[in-house]
Chain A
Amino acid sequence: MTAWLPMLIPAIAGIATFALGESRGRARNAVNLTAAAMSMALVARLVVHAYNGTVVASTIPMLPGLELGMSADLLGLLFAAVATVLWGVTLVYAIGYMDHAADRARFFGFFALCIAAANGVALADDPLSLFIFYEILSLTTYPLVVHTGTPEALAAGRKYLFYALGGGAALLVGVAWLATIAGQTPFTPGGALTTVSGRTAELRVIFALMVAGFGVKAALMPLHGWLPGAMVAPAPVSSLLHAVAVVKAGVFGIIRLVNELYGPDLATSLGVATPLAILAAVSIIVASVIALRQDDFKRRLAYSTIAQLSYITLGTALCSPLAAAGALAHLAHHAVMKITMFFTAGSVYETLHVKKVSQMPGLARRMPLTMASFAVAAFALAGIPPLVGFASKWMLGVGSTQGGSVWALLVYVSSGALALGYMVPILTSALREGDHAPARGAESDPRMLWPIVTVGVLTVVLGLTAGLPGSPVHWAMTAIAPSFGGWTP
């Protein structure tokens, strides 16, 4: 039962939020924050268990011959931890951000449900369970995307659904097909399809279908179209979409698919890993180049997200242990960096109504702490040591080279240069002299400011401690090692 709780606690919090209604704001905040704290404590406990070799798991019967299963293994817990911890941070931020907004019950309710679904994706023990929570995630995100109810928001929501449900359909067929071939296939490090012999053509098609399904949320080009549009959502939602739950669910699905469903060996011998890697590499470069040209702050961040997600996909698809571990670590690292950036985007919009990079001159003086945090995250994203992005980029690069894919290394380093290229102009624009006069008093609502500073500091701290036991890097290596039997980090 414990394995269900990381999913159930936010779900209950979400339903309670609906039940409390619009007017009882204090109670709503208390419920959500308490739930976040409880989830964090719970995940922490599960992590300790998992590190000690005890994987808490539980299943219930669902469809004929198939069970719905949850299992708190290290791999899933990494994602669950990211989602849960950043949920807590985002809650504080969102309470500040949505201070004067309408429909907060709806907002916070679906927000919690999203996290529940993300945790479900994280801990799902088999493709079917993963698919179910993956689709729930699509659905619970929709109300958040269209939250403001404006025509742009509705259009973005429509686009989001078009992609998400299309991907979901592909995934459904893939998962169902696999079930007809192989029955129940709980994720197993190194591959769960040992019982299937032959049928290579079918397995290839299934792999492609599943990649198409996960690729939508992972914003793998050309399935990325929804992401930039979905930027019309309120900033906490963008943060959630981009940093925490939604897109990470996609790449996490790919991680599970390659490492624990097919397994690196089968994925390589079927010849499906390399095309995926190439697709990811193209996404990295193309998205980075497009990001260079965006004036809209959040759109620029969105394209950056597309590129960064493909870091993870590429690292996974290389089927080299250190690259796979780097990819998993980057899942956490990118979350921290990108949430800092989206918090910043939201804060400057909410405080000064700045939406474009070209409107930023003067911002560095007007909101120094905010922009400093952003700068740290930006450099981290470009992979400047000793910040957090460097650790994963180094792992990914070393992993690519060890796996004999020097081209992937070159993609990673080029993308790092491009990241500087699209991040630095934001900083330089903010540093120019401009219309925004230095703030008298606080630079923004403290409930927005301190979460930004917190995650900004986190990008430094996680970078400095990347080599220590318990860091995402170490965690990722421990979680990935079993998929490459015999590999010891």
Chain B
Amino acid sequence: MNVLAQLPGLLVVVPLAGAAISFVAGRRRAPHVALATALTVLALAVALAVHVLDDGPFRYQVGGWGAPLGIDLVADGAAALFLVLTAIVGLVVTLYATAYFRTDDETAYGHGLFWTLWLFMWTSLNALFLTGDVFNVYVCLELVGISAVTLVTIGGGAEALRAGARYLFASMLGAMTYLLGVALLYAATGQLDMDVLRTTLVADTTAATGLALMIAALVLKTALVPAHFWLPAAHGSAPSPVSAVLSSLVVKGSYFVILRLMLDVMPADYLPGVEIVLGVLGSAAIVWGSVQALLQTRIKQLVAYSTVAQIGYLFLVFPLARHGADVLTLALTGVLVHALSHGLAKAGLFLGAGSLMTRFGHDRIADMGGAVRSAPALTFGVALAGVTMMGLPPSGGFGAKWLLVSAALASGEWWWAAVLVTGGLLAAAYMFRLLSVLLKDTPTELHASKGDARTEWLPLALALGAVLLVLAIPLVSNLAAASNVLIHAGVTP
């Protein structure tokens, strides 16, 4: 059997094994296990991406059963992209966590569990990106949700618990709604496999209602405005490595499912008007999230609201997709680049925020003056991540903005371009509000002892990755071409 064909399975199995081993390895050895797992998964993800680029999408049947009975994993270009992103961010976060959750800090409650939970969440995420079955999506979402909620509360503290409770509520509400939708869909069609659904779906109120419920649930999970109520609290009060993962990866998981449902599974106009609603909500998210980010006084809240805003961009692909293959290609490539660049930059930003908080001992933006002098690389990292958030060249964010703006202008619906541009400016406003404080000339006594080099350089590394992504856009473009969406839309032969 071809080893490459096993890659999807390995991408689920390896982190799962890592989670298990780290659980039994004890809190001193767990970090090493996690690192080894992360490196392996990165290698596997890259191999998968290369394979997809070479040979196109393929299916992997777990246990060889095949649809509709067995579990099928689908590896296409878009999935490969998200897997690689997860692997890169995962590796960096793991490295960062080895400095953040110090093994010699006995008082830290629950830190030993971090590694297991984190690898388990990684497993579920990988499965979510690969699964080709709407019910398995539900399972993966649940697994991701439970591990995420636990991770949010891992640091203890009243605020984290409150946030966790809110997150749990959202997670459950979403899962239940999704399940209801799946049930309706299954009742109407008798199918759960996405590929089968794509070819068999016919106009039917029950099926449509089911899909609408699924999308609403996924919107909640993705924290699209106005269903973003849980995100700032959860992302803002979790330990920083967790925030990074939640913001940069977890919301992308549910988004990826929406992407597949909207653009691949459902025929055009299956849910008429929904794409417009999603686009409008996306626009609202961009504006509202940015404005709220601008108003925050605490650093992680700012970054969290930035996520609320950045998620909005991802939804602009849906209204644009109606305008023909060329625009669809531009827009899809755009959102994929955006997902990547936001993933890298936002992780970098949360890690950077965490480093700043450990150095200053608090999270008040106003009192973070003078950071540039004591932690220049860290400040620079935050700034670079900000550049991507704003969508300024040279950065992946710029590539995404360019592609989306081009798509909007080519579609003739120029107002999406206006939203994009406004969003970039608002992002600049909240990022520079932070940066101008960091650049302020105030001699501040920093808690330099907590300044592990890793916590200073890793955010910079992620931000640099987000910036250099601009050079990899041709590659992303090829992966987008190898995605099922474009293949089924007839763009890619």
Contact = CB atoms under 8 A, between A and B. Distances in A.
Contacts of A18: 376, 380
Interface stretch (B20-28, B269-277, B285-293, B424-432): B424-432
Interface stretch (A46-54, A160-168, A279-287, A375-383): A160-168
A251 B294 CA distance: 33
A63 B441 contact: no
Contacts of B409: 173, 176-177, 180
B333 A169 contact: no
B373 to A, nearest CB: 7
B235 interface: no
- Main SS of the interface on chain B? helix
B438 to A, nearest CB: 10
B425 A166 contact: yes
Given A132-B394, A148-B441, A139 B387 contact: yes
Contacts of A37: none
A382 B436 CA distance: 38
B448 to A, nearest CB: 16
Contacts, number: 89
A135 B393 contact: yes
Interface stretch (B86-94, B122-130, B398-406): B398-406
Contacts of B403: 63-64
A250 B390 CA distance: 21
B401 A172 contact: yes
Interface in A98-157: 102-103, 106, 128, 131-133, 135-136, 138-139, 142-143, 146, 148-150, 154, 157
B390 A165 contact: yes
Nearest to B424: A169
Given A61-B474, A149-B440, A154-B440, A173 B432 contact: no
A176 B392 contact: no
Interface residues of A, number: 36
A180 B406 contact: yes
Interface residues of B, number: 39
B402 A63 contact: yes
A149 B394 contact: no
B136 interface: no
B242 to A, nearest CB: 30
Nearest to A105: B376
B23 to A, nearest CB: 42
A180 B410 contact: yes
A183 B144 CA distance: 43
A356 interface: no
Interface of A: 18, 61-64, 102-103, 106, 128, 131-133, 135-136, 138-139, 142-143, 146, 148-150, 154, 157-158, 161, 165-166, 168-169, 172-173, 176-177, 179-180
Interface of B: 329-330, 333, 369-370, 372-373, 376, 380, 387, 390, 392-394, 398-399, 401-403, 405-406, 409-410, 417, 421, 424-425, 428, 432, 436, 439-442, 470-471, 473-474, 477
14 contacts: A62-B473, A64-B330, A132-B394, A146-B436, A149-B439, A149-B440, A150-B441, A165-B390, A168-B392, A169-B424, A176-B402, A176-B417, A180-B409, A180-B410
List the 3 closest A-B pairs by CB distance, nearest first: A149-B441, A132-B393, A169-B421
Given A132-B398, A135-B398, 9 more contacts: A132-B393, A136-B393, A136-B394, A154-B436, A157-B439, A158-B436, A169-B424, A172-B402, A173-B421
